[in-house]
Structure 1
């Protein structure tokens, strides 16, 4: 089959009014207040209930209370930080991969708050987590908020995302790349960023341009940092039965590292704490590449499969979706890049729920996020009720700020 033109990935999109977007000049967060001793105590009680630190509980609580009284905050020990980060993962109601919560690798970088240092360690995070495709669940923690001194902030929603380029000056909605990232792409372009080839020269905007990191310190103004190629493992997508699929030029990155959710442990807030697991096949194939407000590839895949796309009653979307997810899973497997499938991971989540029940703990779960976006009724997570999500549960990764 002949090479498909670049325009196959250009779709008409509706975009929000520019007045709704955050400007490049950012408004600083409200100053952090002092940590509540009660929050620290609740966390320490959980820590001591599940592990055996060397320092007696009463002694450690007294140390923490005294430090809060002097400074308005306190410093977690390495063990407290590691336990708190893992507990935040265990408490994440929207994550299906929580069976592995105790294996989270925690990189302690709390001494860093300068944007350049934060960006450099985010790049090292990606290298450490990628491991030539044997993806490891990893979290890096940077300096916390302190009274009167906010910690650093990573403005990207993930460390790796593809740009969304608006194609028309009249803002008609045509986008090349990821429509979800149009606003952020325009923000970084406002700071001077342009896609560049490996040798640094500007090049044509494409559908899979890796965005730079946008990081700010306590001076608020953000700085941009490009991700080097050796920190971004990408998988070219192809299909086990259809050679033409490779001609589409599709690809996706290997490490989904969330970077805009503050981590709160015992009342201490870490605004920059990027973390990753590994991809579920449907996250890429049934959402990122298939959603109508993302890459919206199902109509194209349906036509190339020669399906009858004249009516939804032919179930052409369902058939195209299965083949798109198959292509993603096949490509990651062929390249030796770790990826979960929605059937196996659903069974493992049920194992996690059973483990939590045996331990006498609730397992807060958002059903709408846990059930896969494809073949949900064929998985065991579909057919049961769960403890409802608890927004007050701590430690936790908090929702991103506006």
Structure 2
């Protein structure tokens, strides 16, 4: 069922998109084409021909259209470049669904529901992305107006929040758009998702029964955790990230990976701004809170419960030690190929047993290379730029690049 709100004059998407000059868009397009042809070892004549065609299209329209092969390569490299993700070892296996021809919100909803359903039923550690149309200066585009396709409601009450506090505003909006919560609300009520269409109105879509698979969280030896009635959905499908490839932004590109157990156990269930369950978990397993390490034990057992529950349900998940080792393997492979790796230490290092994970001791730098993903230009989009990995550039040219980037950043911040 679809619910629609009234149109407003504001354009939230435009405030999030990167601001590129014609020269910057041209530069990113050329650098992307060089990277594409270099890594796929295509003939130089093909690069010259494709570059001429893209530059002519940019001159004529201010934009250009990626081929299906370029789109798939660009999405995979965007994942490879994204500094916040620990699970990039298998970036080449990203399944790319080209949905650029789909512009109707109802059809977009059907496509992403099918995406979620396929990822849910496979049970495999396979990441996928569905890419809808790019942002154009001459016309608006529809996009998802929610953080993830699957989210739990948060109901604000006099005694606090029932459910996920992160989603209190999303829950209020859903109700205002016509969603009816269950007669007896719970801490794990699935919210509908929202698409803002090209003319502004938001449309609300409820997930069909059976689309989302949830796992009840139980512990293999501590029955007290089962008494908490915890559960979580198996597939995180992120819908609010903007994909940028060669100077072209795709604001509607929902993608999924699979969970690391600490994301659910050490963050979603325990963060004070989320479910804030650490005290209740400690009570449920009978820890002595006079012990200074009771929180450590509660976190460890909750992680064990999440991991074992997902494994028992044959749902894709990974523990933080295995994920850390995979990231180390990814870095080694990339360095062997002569590529620098972008990494954000605060995102890569797991919140549980951090110093026991090899990534804790690994120096990291976010190079902000494109292609990439970003949320808004204010948070992480303005710093993105071409890496020029395929060029042999001397010290003087690299210094010129730095000066140009700083000048562009200064001009943007002034406006």
Give me the TM-score of the superposition, normalised by structure 2: 0.84
The CA deviation at 1:100 is 0.7
| CA–CA separation in structure 2 for the residues paired with 1:214 and 1:252 | 20
1:226-246 deviation digits (Å, cap 9, x = unpaired): 011222111111000022322
| CA–CA separation in structure 1 for the residues paired with 2:317 and 2:376 | 25
Work out whether 1:229 is the aligned partner of 2:209: yes
Unaligned runs of 5+ in 2: 1-5, 379-415
Aligned to 1:364: 342
| CA–CA separation in structure 1 for the residues paired with 2:27 and 2:284 | 60
What secondary structure, in the 3-state scheme, does the structure 1 residue paired with 2:149 have? coil
1:94-113 → structure 2 map (5 Å cutoff)? 94-113=84-103
- Aligned-CA RMSD value: 2.0
Work out whether 1:389 is the aligned partner of 2:389: no
What secondary structure, in the 3-state scheme, does the structure 1 residue paired with 2:76 have? helix
What secondary structure, in the 3-state scheme, does the structure 2 residue paired with 1:242 have? coil
Aligned to 2:124: 134
1:1-400 → structure 2 map (5 Å cutoff)? 27-28=10-11, 29-30=13-14, 36-53=25-42, 56-168=46-158, 174-196=160-182, 203-310=183-290, 314-386=292-364, 388-391=365-368, 393-400=369-376
| CA–CA separation in structure 2 for the residues paired with 1:150 and 1:273 | 15
What secondary structure, in the 3-state scheme, does the structure 2 residue paired with 1:206 have? coil
Contact 1:140–1:275 (8 Å) recurs in 2: yes
1:322-351 deviation digits (Å, cap 9, x = unpaired): 111110001000010110111111111101
What secondary structure, in the 3-state scheme, does the structure 1 residue paired with 2:195 have? strand
Contact 2:140–2:199 (8 Å) recurs in 1: no
| CA–CA separation in structure 2 for the residues paired with 1:30 and 1:354 | 38
Contact 1:125–1:140 (8 Å) recurs in 2: yes
The CA deviation at 1:153 is 1.3
More helix by share: 2
Contact 2:225–2:285 (8 Å) recurs in 1: no
| CA–CA separation in structure 2 for the residues paired with 1:138 and 1:314 | 43
Give me the TM-score of the superposition, normalised by structure 1: 0.87
1:200-241 deviation digits (Å, cap 9, x = unpaired): xxx222111111110012111110000112221111110000
| CA–CA separation in structure 1 for the residues paired with 2:311 and 2:7 | 40
